[in-house]
Structure 1
Amino acid sequence: MSENTQAVLESTPSKAEEYGASSIQILEGLEAVRKRPGMYIGDTSDGTGLHHLVFEVLDNSIDEALAGFCTEIHVTIHADNSISITDNGRGIPTGVKMDDKHEPKRSATEIALTELHAGGKFNQNSYKVSGGLHGVGVSCVNALSKLLRVTVRQKGKIHQLEFSRGVPMDRIIEVVDGVEVSPMKVLGDTDKRGTEVHFWADEEIFTHVEFHYEILSKRIRELSFLNNGVNIKLSDQRTGKEEIFAFEGGTRGFVEYINKAKAVLHPTVFQATGDRQSDQGTNISVDVSMQWNDSYNEQVLCFTNNIPQRDGGTHLTGLRAAMTRVINKYIDENEFAKKAKVEISGDDMREGLTCVLSVKVPEPKFSSQTKDKLVSSEVRGPVEEIVAKTLTDFLNEKPNDAKIICGKIVEAARAREAARKARDLTRRKGVMDGLGLSSKLADCQERDPALAELYIVEGDSAGGSAKQGRDRKFQAILPLRGKVLNVEKARFEKMLSSEQITTLIATLGTSIGPDEFNVDKLRYHRIIIMTDADVDGAHIRTLLLTLFYRQMPQLVERGHIYIAQPPLYKVKAGRDERYLKDDVEEASYMMNFALNTAALVPQDGAEPISGDALAGLVRQYNLANAIMMRLTRLIDRAALSAIMTGVTLDMTTLDNAEATAQAMAKTINDPAVKVLVRTDDLSGKHALRIERMHHGNVQVTSIDADFVDSADYATLASSAATFQGLMGEGALVRRGEGERMKEFAVRDFHGAMGWLREEAERGVSKQRYKGLGEMNPEQLWETTMDPTVRRLLKVQIEDAIAADQIFTTLMGDEVEPRRNFIESNALQAGNIDV
Structure 2
Amino acid sequence: MTNYNEDSIRSLDWKEHIRLRPGMYIGKLGDGSAYDDGIYVLLKEVVDNSIDEFVMGAGKTIDINVTESKVAVRDYGRGIPIGSVVDVVSKINTGGKYDSKAFQKSVGLNGVGTKAVNALSNAFTVQSYRAGKTRIAEFSKGELLNDHEKETSQRNGTAVVFHPDESIFKNYKYRMEFVENMIWNYVFLNSGLTINFNGTKFHSEHGLKDLLERTVEPEGMRYPIVHLKGEDIEVALTHGQAYGEEYYSFVNGQHTTQGGTHQAAFREAIVKTVREFYKKDFDAADIRASIIAAIAIKVQEPVFESQTKTKLGSQSIGPEGPTVRTFINDFIKKYLDDYLHRNQQAADALLKRILQSERERKDIAGIKKLANERAKKASVHNRKLRDCKIHYDDKHERNQETTLFITEGDSASGSITKSRDVQTQAVFSLKGKPLNAYGLTKKVVYENEEFNLLQHALNIEDGLDGLRYNNIVIATDADVDGMHIRLLLMTFFLQFFPDLVKAGHVSILQTPLFRVRNKKETIYCYSDEERVAAIAKLGNKPEITRFKGLGEISPEEFGLFIGADMRLDPVMLMKENKVGELLSYYMGKNTPDRQKHIVNNLHVELDVEEELIGA
- Partner SS for 1:152: strand
Change (3 A) 1:420 1:767: same
Q: CA deviation at 1:380?
A: 3.0
Instruction: For residues 491-548 of structure 1, give each alpha carbon's deviation from its aligned partner in whole angstroms, at most 9, with x where no partner exists.
Output: 322321235424656xx7556511899666x9xx9965324623x6434312213435
AA partner of residue 42 (structure 2): L
* 1:471 CA displacement: 9.0
Aligned pair 1:43/2:31, yes or no? no
In structure 2, relative to structure 1, the CA distance for the partners of 1:511 and 1:371 (3 Å cut) is: closer
Whether 1:433 aligns to 2:377 is yes
Which residue does the alignment assign to 2:350?
A: 405
CA distance in 2, matches of 1:168, 1:419: 64
292, 295, 311: which one aligns with 1:373: 311
Displacement after TM superposition at 1:789 (Å): 7.1
Q: 1:78, CA displacement in angstroms?
A: 4.6
Q: Given the alignment of the two structures, is residue 227 of structure 1 paired with residue 190 of structure 2, yes or no?
A: yes
Name the amino acid aligned to 2:437.
N
Matched, 1:327 2:290: no
Query: Following the alignment from structure 1 to structure 2, what is the Cα–Cα distance between the partners of residues 578 and 109?
Result: 45
Correspondence list, 1:122-521, <5 A: 122-170=98-146, 185-203=148-166, 205-207=168-170, 210-235=173-198, 243-260=200-217, 263-266=220-223, 268-275=224-231, 285-332=232-279, 344-374=282-312, 375-377=314-316, 378=322, 379-428=324-373, 430-434=374-378, 456-457=407-408, 463=409, 478=429, 480-481=431-432, 484-486=435-437, 489-502=439-452, 504=454, 509=457, 513-514=461-462
Q: Which of residues 48, 69, 73 in structure 2 aligns to 1:85?
A: 73
1:169 match: secondary structure:
strand
Match for 2:189: what amino acid? Answer: L
Q: State the distance in 1 between where 2:137 and 2:581 align.
A: 48
Say whether 1:830 aligns with 2:609.
Answer: no
Q: Which moved more, 1:446-455 or 1:141-150?
A: 446-455
Q: Distance in 2 between matches of 1:481 and 1:206?
A: 36
CA deviations over 1:593-628 (Å, ceiling 9, x no partner): 9x979xxxxxxxxxxxxxxxxxxxxxxxxxxxxxxx
Change in Cα spacing, 1:581 to 1:399, as seen in structure 2 (3 Å) is: same
Letter in 1 for 2:235: V
Query: In 2, distance between residues paired with 1:254 and 1:367?
Result: 25
Tell me whether 1:66 sits opposite 2:22 in the alignment: no
Q: Across the two proteins, how many residue pairs are aligned to each other?
A: 554
1:204 Cα deviation (Å)? 5.3
Query: AA paired with 2:378?
Result: G
Please state whether the residue corresponding to 2:338 is helix, strand or coil.
helix
Paired letter, 1:134: N
Flag the 1:559–1:188 CA change in 2: closer, same or farther, 3 A: same
1:200-243 residue CA offsets vs partner (Å, 9 max, x unmatched): 333455455543333322211110211122221233xxxxxx54
Runs of at least 5 residues in structure 2 that lack an aligned partner in the other structure: 1-12, 317-321, 391-401, 421-426, 609-615
Instruction: After TM superposition, give the deviation of residue 246 of structure 1 in Å.
Output: 2.0
Q: 1:44 to 1:433 in 2, by over 3 A?
A: same
Which residue in the other structure is 1:76 paired with? 65
Q: Distance in 2 between matches of 1:436 and 1:36?
A: 38
Conservation of the 8 A alpha-carbon contact between 1:146 and 1:165: yes
Q: Matched residues in 1 for 2:119 and 2:562: separation? A: 35
Distance 1:220 1:329 in 2: 38
The Cα shift of 1:30 comes to 4.5
Q: Deviations over 1:88-140 (max 9, x none)?
A: 1111111xxxxxxxxxxxx2222322222322222345445322222322233
**Cα distance, 1:827–1:305 mapped onto 2, change above 3 Å:** farther
Give the 3-state SS of the residue equivalent to 2:445 in structure 1: helix
In 1, the alpha carbon distance for the partners of 2:338 and 2:569 equals 41
Q: What amino acid is aligned across from residue 294 of structure 1 in structure 2? A: Q
For residue 196 of structure 1, what is the amino acid of its counterpart?
Answer: A
Give the AA of the match of 2:298: K
Q: Quote how far apart the aligned CAs of 1:344 are.
A: 2.0
Determine which structure has more spread, i.e. the larger CA radius of gyration: 1
For the 8 Å contact 2:30–2:172, the answer to whether it is kept is no
Distance across 1 between alignment mates of 2:585 and 2:239: 16
* CA-CA distance at 1:39 after TM superposition: 2.5
Q: State how far apart, in whole Å, the 2-side matches of 1:169 and 1:470 are.
A: 48
Distance in 2 of aligned mates of 1:211 and 1:486: 33
> Does the Cα contact within 8 Å between 2:78 and 2:130 map onto a contact in 1?
yes
**8 Å CA contact 2:506, 2:571 repeated in 1:** no
CA–CA separation in structure 2 for the residues paired with 1:199 and 1:353: 40
Alpha-carbon distance, 1:66 to partner: 1.3
Letter paired with 1:486: A
* In 2, Cα distance between equivalents of 1:122 and 1:413: 50
Q: Is the 8 A contact 2:512 2:524 kept in 1?
A: no
Q: Contact 1:570/1:580 (CA < 8 Å) preserved in 2?
A: yes
State the match for 1:689 in structure 2. none
Equivalents in 2 of 1:73, 1:115: separation in Å? 25
Indicate the residue corresponding to 1:787 in structure 2.
558
What's the CA shift for 1:785?
9.5
- 2:487 and 2:132 map into 1 onto residues whose CA distance is 57
Q: Give, as a single letter, the amino acid of the residue that structure 1 aligns with 2:268.
A: A
Query: Would the alpha carbon gap of residues 121 and 84 (structure 1) be closer, same or farther in structure 2, given more than 3 Å must change?
Result: same
8 Å CA contact 1:784–1:790 kept in 2: the answer is no
Distance 1:323 1:583 in 2: 53
Q: 1:166 to 1:798 in 2, by over 3 A?
A: farther
CA contact (8 A) 1:486 1:543 kept: yes
Uncovered stretches (5+) of structure 1, i.e. residues with no partner: 1-28, 95-106, 172-184, 236-241, 276-284, 338-342, 458-462, 598-762
AA of the residue aligned to 2:300: P
- Distance in 2 of aligned mates of 1:447 and 1:192: 57
Take 1:251 and 1:360, find their aligned partners in 2: how far apart are those partners?
14
Q: Pick closer, same or farther for the CA change 1:785–1:466 going to 2, 3 Å.
A: farther
2:582 aligned partner: 810
Q: Name the CA distance, whole Å, in 2 between partners of 1:159 and 1:209.
A: 30
Q: 1:294: Cα distance to partner?
A: 0.8
Equivalent pair of 1:67/1:128 in contact (CA under 8 Å): no
Q: Is the 8 A contact 1:306 1:358 kept in 2?
A: yes
Distance 2:197 2:603 in 1: 25
Cα distance in 1 between the residues matched to 2:124 and 2:61: 21
Counterparts of 1:717-732 in structure 2 under 5 Å?
A: none
Letter of the 1:251 partner, please give it: L
Indicate whether 1:530 and 2:486 are aligned: no
2:371/2:449 contact within 8 Å kept = no
**How far 1:263 sits from its partner (Å)?**
1.0
Render the CA deviation track for 1:242-282: whole Å, top value 9, x for unaligned. Answer: 5432233201111111103761111x21011112xxxxxxx
Q: CA deviation at 1:357?
A: 0.6
Kindly provide the amino acid, as one letter, of the partner of residue 456 in structure 1: T
TM-score normalised per structure 2: 0.74
- Aligned partners of 2:412, 2:304: CA distance in 1, in Å? 48
**Does the Cα contact within 8 Å between 2:561 and 2:567 map onto a contact in 1?**
no
- Taking a change above 3 Å as real, the CA distance of residues 798 and 166 of structure 1, as seen in their structure-2 partners, is farther
Distance 1:435 1:315 in 2: 34
